A and B are shown apart, each in its own frame.
Chain A
């Protein structure tokens, strides 16, 4: 390490008065390492600072001296002493380090679930606390109180500094839990006009048997039971009554449709985000009337740490309105996709026994009428109104 800082030089001396030279070096109290004589030549290592004195001694004794400097840290620095860019870079790094150590680089919000980060950041911004704000200007107590009062849904807020991070810890207001309505007495009535094919009663009294035909609103399982003594008990009727019922759905589409079609023109614009500053790196405005915007942000990362400097790339794609005339087959395919989505979303909990699709075309529109024959639970809870 010492050699890396002081610089190490290998010397090679030749001449008649070689031992005179060696003893003169020794007497001059010069640090001289790894000395040996081989083939009438003296080899040793010295520090760079001693080279001048050794050269003088060599001249006095008529010694031919050659030297070679090892690649040490100080040698590299001296070799590059005229490269002002390195010095400038070092100065910039030190200046940046000093600057970033005194300002808010990142705001870390912890403990929030329902209140979003954006709301808290906006409230802090209103108090003058944002990325780039010097830490010494932040009045922590006032900001904490303002946050509690200003942001709805916060019951407590605490702020502290960790390095270049401003940590905002919050506790949210715990809402009163909603009353569960699963224990309220109720009957189960038929949601559809159906033929009963199966029953399972967990609680309550079954009002229809398998094979009965019920209309929508008919009581299936009663939550009111009475005994021989005239005592009436209210239950929450629970059970499953499986029925076969019919349902109809219609899907309509126009044969001539106005659609947005990409023109093929795109425009990419970049913005430099420096703390809270948003600097556009372009001139003029985007003139696309109809456009799709895609935005990506790429922050600057140094040694795994994300700095508050980023480049935002916005890509605009131009669209134009275009009238498209579809053939009945194309429109039928589109409508069939809607039918599939409808079945997936609304009929997934029952079994489709039959599906009858009727296609009608009228005044430039195509309608698909789907008649289903379904098998599933037809029970619907209805509260018992009592005084």
Chain B
């Protein structure tokens, strides 16, 4: 309950997430809330109001206890997508 509350508070108070890319070797993401995919060729995670998708090869994720995530490897593509609100997502799920 408390964790959900703090997560929600974090989303509201600091919705902006910093993303820093260094060449095609390293990508640093602040405020990573959830890891959804952690493959060697594809990683997907939630940062702030964004869903970040990373394609590449030999990808590795490094977690340094800061809430952020460092992805190293040969990055070929990064895609950022805005997350839909839960209220928007619910009707869609009902249709199924």
Chain A residues in the interface with B (C-beta under 8 A):
19, 22-23, 25-27, 29-38, 42
Chain B 43-73: CB-based contact to A (< 8 A → 1; otherwise 0): 0000000000000000111111111010000
In the complex, how many angstroms separate the beta carbon of A22 from the nearest chain B beta carbon? 5
Of B35, B40, B63, which is within 8 A of A33 by CB? B63
Q: Is the interface of B mostly helix, strand, loop or mixed?
A: strand
Cα A27 to Cα B65 with chains together (Å): 9
Q: Which B residues, 11 to 54, have Cβ-Cβ distances below 8 Å to chain A?
A: 32, 34-40
Cα A36 to Cα B34 with chains together (Å): 15
In the complex, how many angstroms separate the beta carbon of B45 from the nearest chain A beta carbon? 9
Of A22, A23, A33, A37, which is within 8 A of B62 by CB? A33
B3 within 8 A of A: yes
* Complex contact A22–B35 (CB within 8 A): yes
* Complex contact A27–B3 (CB within 8 A): yes
Considering only CB atoms and an 8 Å cut-off, how many residues of chain B contact the other chain?
19
Of A19, A30, A34, which is within 8 A of B35 by CB? A19
Cα A29 to Cα B40 with chains together (Å): 22
* Complex contact A36–B63 (CB within 8 A): no
- Which residues of chain B are near A32, meaning CB under 8 Å? 61-63
* Complex contact A37–B39 (CB within 8 A): yes
In the complex, how many angstroms separate the beta carbon of A61 from the nearest chain B beta carbon? 14
* Complex contact B34–A23 (CB within 8 A): yes
In the complex, how many angstroms separate the beta carbon of B46 from the nearest chain A beta carbon? 10
Cα A36 to Cα B40 with chains together (Å): 6
* Complex contact B38–A29 (CB within 8 A): no
* Complex contact B63–A25 (CB within 8 A): yes
